[in-house]
Amino acid sequence: MSKDSEKLFDAMGNIDDEILKKTENRAGKNKMWFGGTSLFACICLVAVALIITSRNNSNKTGNGSEIIEAGSSNEETNTPDTIVNETDKETEDETEKIKTVRYYFVSGYGEVDTNKRYDAPQNGEILLSDGLKNAIDDIGDKAFYSVYFELYKDGIKVELNDEIIENEMKRVGGRYQDGEVQSGLFTDTKEGIKYYSLAFFGSREQLTNYPSNSDLGIIMYLSTELMIRDGREIVDNNIFELDFETREKAVVCGYRDKRVE
């Protein structure tokens, strides 16, 4: 190892704040929706919100910012289709109009029955929790979903570990269509317990067509549904309710603005 590489590493220390800010924002976005700790934090507060938020019809978010409706569904494409934002972006020689669609990630829906236990799925079978089923039935393609998996082998629940998660991620290639499969290792700071999670973020169509695993059974839960049921730690982060004009108000752990042509 030469001093040259150290010098290069040192020189990286004087990187512009502008670059750091930009990368931090982008990294933060990914972290929020697809990462571990923040997602966990996000999800945990959803639990609080589920408990403490009153069900009013106000068009305001839990943290006071204005809600932008997710929009009507598009039966053909199965994606939310409301253009929520149009911005001008300066390119080298022209001004380009950027259109984006806002995709909300529903992570909680309705009351959670903490005593509810589902029958173990057989290998190759995929079950959806009540919360997830209700959300999909009611909200459909107006949003995306933040989902946690429980895995079963020969009818017995499997404790997640690096190997199991990696195999599952490899099996679906880390991604499935435009959906994202993610894993995380979380620490409950109160209890000091570490645990893994296997999460999926995707549309109704992606969820309902998620490829089954002939070696494992899967139960899919809305992420907060599982967190609340398992009594996991609640920590602070920004989550909010969103009214999709359904029988229950959905809790949303974030959104992603996706560019559309």
Partner 1 sequence: MEDSEIIRLYCNRDEQAVEETEKKYGSYCFSIAKNILGNEEDARECLNDMLTQAWLSIPTHIPDNLKFWLGKVIRNISINLRKKQNRKKRHDGMDVILSELEECIPSGNTVESYLESEELSRILNMWIKTLSDKDQVIFVMRYWKGVSVKEIARHQGITAKKVSQRLYELRNKLREKLEMEDIYI
Residues that bind partner 1 (CB under 8 A): 1-2, 4-17, 19-24, 26-27, 30-31, 34-36, 169, 174-175, 180, 182-184
CA distance linking residue 92 with residue 144, whole number of Å: 35
| For partner 1, the closer CB: 9 or 55 | 9
Closer CB to partner 1, 5 or 214, in the complex:
5
Is residue 250 helix, strand or coil?
strand
Nearest distance, CB of residue 128 and partner 1, angstroms? 23
Of the pair 37, 212, the CB lying nearest partner 1 is at 37
Cα–chain center distance at 219: 16
- Report in angstroms the alpha-carbon separations of 88 from 25, 69, 113: 19, 22, 47
Q: How far is the CB of 104 from partner 1 (least distance, A)?
A: 18
Instruction: Kindly report the backbone phi and psi dihedral angles of residue 228, in degrees, each rounded to the nearest multiple of 5, phi listed first.
Output: -65, -45
Quick one: three-class SS letters along 75-117?
Answer: CCCCCCCCEEEEEEEECCCCEEEEEEEEEEEEEEECCCCCCCC
Indicate the SS3 state at residue 239: coil
User: Two tokens at 1?
Assistant: 């190892």
Q: How far is the CB of 161 from partner 1 (least distance, A)?
A: 15
Q: Which is nearer to partner 1, 63 or 114 (CB)?
A: 63
Furthest C-alpha separation in the chain: 65
From the CB of 53, what's the least distance to partner 1, in Å? 25
Q: How far is the CB of 11 from partner 1 (least distance, A)?
A: 4
Nearer to partner 1, 13 or 192 (CB): 13
Nearer to partner 1, 188 or 243 (CB): 188
The secondary structure element, H or E, covering residue 195 is strand 193-202
Give min distance, CB of 181 to partner 1, in A: 9
Query: At residue 110, what are phi and psi to the nearest 5 degrees?
Result: 80, 180
CB of 111 to partner 1, least distance (A): 31
Of 21 and 157, CB closest to partner 1: 21
Residue 71: which of 62, 84, 60, 58 has the closest Cα? 84
